[in-house]
Chain A
Amino acid sequence: DQQVKQNSPSLSVQEGRISILNCDYTNSMFDYFLWYKKYPAEGPTFLISISSIKDKNEDGRFTVFLNKSAKHLSLHIVPSQPGDSAVYFCAASEEYGNKLVFGAGTILRVKS
């Protein structure tokens, strides 16, 4: 029972262009959403988050959009840089501070 789904296993983008990573969820009780980035041989690193009371949150080159009615969120990276190449995980929780439910991840490759 996958409550958080990242349907694109991989994405390849040219340096300088926009990267859009998508995530869908099924649990309507989720009210907090996060994106993590993971490099090989390292643990996931927090990137950006959004609560269900918002529909957009921005941090530098990273913007997360939340569409609650569609149970969909996306991460936009503009402009994409080669150092952004990593696995990106979408995660959600029912309550602030509670366990995180992760998607399977999307491998992003930014080509220079």
Chain B
Amino acid sequence: DAGVTQSPTHLIKTRGQHVTLRCSPISGHKSVSWYQQVLGQGPQFIFQYYEKEERGRGNFPDRFSARQFPNYSSELNVNALLLGDSALYLCASSFTSNRDSFGQGTRLTVV
């Protein structure tokens, strides 16, 4: 079975630009969560979607948004990028449990 897949794996953006990160959950998983991991820190919760509805939102500015599609894949959008948005963005999916399965992440560098 394919695991959680994220695309792209790496990208470089300029300050002020917009970025869209994509995530395909494990087949059958209806919950998708997004986390931001800054170097030297643990992953920090951004959003959780379940059955296409936002179920939770972390302490991130409105520049961050997300959505989940009918096939349960998800997008994370970040507007007006700042240097501080440089991080590893992790997507995780789960069926019903807390045992989130994580993708390998998208490494975003803002210059």
Q: Which residues of A contact B (CB under 8 A)?
A: 4, 6, 32, 34, 36, 41-46, 49, 89, 91, 93, 96-105
Q: In the complex, A102→B37 CA distance in Å?
A: 10
Min CB distance, A3 to chain B, in Å? 11
Q: B interface, how many residues as a size bin?
A: 20 to 34
Q: In the complex, A98→B49 CA distance in Å?
A: 10
Min CB distance, B53 to chain A, in Å? 14
B90→A46 contact, CB < 8 A: no
B90→A104 contact, CB < 8 A: no
Min CB distance, B33 to chain A, in Å? 7
B102→A49 contact, CB < 8 A: no
Which residues of the partner chain B approach A100 to less than 8 Å between Cβ atoms? 33, 35, 43, 45, 98, 100
B58 interface hit (Cβ, 8 Å): yes
Q: Map CB proximity to A onto B85-111 as digits: 1 under 8 Å, 0 otherwise.
A: 000001010101111111111000000
Q: In the complex, A100→B93 CA distance in Å?
A: 12
Q: In the complex, A104→B43 CA distance in Å?
A: 8
A32→B98 contact, CB < 8 A: yes
B56 interface hit (Cβ, 8 Å): yes
Contacts A45-B102, A46-B101, A98-B56; A89 near B42 (Cβ below 8 A): yes
For A36, the closest partner residue in chain B by CB is B102
A44→B102 contact, CB < 8 A: yes
